[in-house]
Structure 1
Amino acid sequence: MKNTNRNKQQLPASQREALLNTLKARFEKNMHRHKGLDWANVQAKLEDNPGKLWSLNEMEDTGGEPDVVGYDKKTGGFIFYDCSAETPKGRRNLCYDREALESRKEHKPEDSAIDMAAAMGIALLTEAQYRELQQLGNFDTKTSSWVQTPAAIRKLGGALFCDRRYDHVFLYHNGASSYYAARGFRGALSI
């Protein structure tokens, strides 16, 4: 179900409650992702940050299945990653960034990964974050996900993506303007 409040960044009470219930159920089902963390603390932080809750709803609406994967002691924030088995369905067929999108002469995708993430209020996973996620399960065994690309690589026209094949996590490169039905992006959000 698409969020009709995309630009308001505030969820109606009923939608907020439904999202909190979904996140709580996922949190309790996957305790191995966040050992030692308590849902009551996560929920309190979410309720104090309606804009971040809106971003989590965007992650959920696009198929990301966000879940808590850590706690940052320095900031006191809970870290959420997209934990869907495959790259989120609502975030596929995207080139890497705006420059790549504008460089395409024909067959342009609807959006870019960087622009979509920014509109959602999240960031693409870094390679390190992607590898951390893969320690929690087997993700992207049939799909792949764009990851943050160093400026030096991007300047030369490339972009990076990762996936899991043969029980190993691989990092690859491609032209930033490329896009595929099985490639999207995973996001990170700290609350």
Structure 2
Amino acid sequence: MEHNRNLLPEEAGKLLLILKSRFEKNMIRHKGIDWADVHAKLNSKDNTQKLWSLNEMERTGGEPDVIAQDQKTGEYIFYDCSAESPKDRRSICYDEDALESRKEHKPKNSAIGMAKDMGIQILSEEEYRYLQKLGHFDTKTSSWIKTPEKIRELGGAIFADFRYDNVFVYHNGAESYYAARGFRGALKI
């Protein structure tokens, strides 16, 4: 599905205000990073499509925030930082193959398909564990995470959550879907 991947100036301005407010309220997530530098990168003409992707993260309930800066590339890394798995990204299976394999009661989409449409990457297990060091996320929900090829080839997929003061990684059939399971994404700008 083709999207207009540019925000109107008013939409971009509104998103930047939301991101700035979240950035300032959660300084523990991005120590040593200055909002003015992030803002300049977000306003770059080269990043209009990525700004659209950030807006998609926000629109679907992800509450994106800066969590680090890539020391090699200088890019700022945004993760979905909503307390629970983003609300408008739940009740989906893992990927397109899983979606196609369902003959009845198909979910509306897949985590990998939605992430691709949004222009973001689904979190890996390592990234998910890093996110959990910045707070407690998915204490009532769970999130699909990037599944190793060998597991996926066997029909499985993995997801994670935070319970009992620990990150737990589990498996499920890739075609399964639940009202409390979505996915979290990452975007580099």
Provide the TM-score with structure 2 as the length reference: 0.98
Q: Which amino acid aligns with 1:99?
A: D
**C-alpha separation in 2, matches of 1:147 and 1:115:** 13
2:182 maps to which residue?
184
Q: Which amino acid aligns with 1:106?
A: E
Residue ranges of structure 2 left out of the alignment (5+ in a row): none
Cα deviation code 1:128-181 (max 9, x no counterpart) = 000000000000000000000000000000000000011100000000000000
Structure 1 segments of 4 or more deviating over 3 A? Answer: none
1:60 maps to which residue?
58
Residue ranges of structure 1 left out of the alignment (5+ in a row): 1-5
Secondary structure of residue in 2 paired with 1:177: coil
Cα deviation code 1:102-139 (max 9, x no counterpart) = 00010000000000000000000000000000000000
**C-alpha separation in 2, matches of 1:73 and 1:141:** 31
**C-alpha separation in 2, matches of 1:8 and 1:100:** 28
1:42 maps to which residue?
38
1:135 maps to which residue?
133
**C-alpha separation in 1, matches of 2:70 and 2:59:** 26
1:18 maps to which residue?
14
Secondary structure of residue in 1 paired with 2:14: helix
Q: Which amino acid aligns with 1:25?
A: S
Secondary structure of residue in 2 paired with 1:136: coil
2:102 maps to which residue?
104
Aligned length: 186
2:68 maps to which residue?
70
2:27 maps to which residue?
31
**C-alpha separation in 2, matches of 1:100 and 1:75:** 34
Shift of 1:42: 0.3
RMSD: 0.6
**C-alpha separation in 1, matches of 2:3 and 2:103:** 29
**C-alpha separation in 2, matches of 1:122 and 1:166:** 30
Quick check: 1:155 aligned with 2:148? no
1:117 maps to which residue?
115
Shift of 1:73: 1.2
**C-alpha separation in 2, matches of 1:182 and 1:73:** 35
Secondary structure of residue in 2 paired with 1:85: coil
Secondary structure of residue in 2 paired with 1:16: helix
Quick check: 1:170 aligned with 2:172? no
Q: Which amino acid aligns with 1:110?
A: K
**C-alpha separation in 2, matches of 1:111 and 1:158:** 17
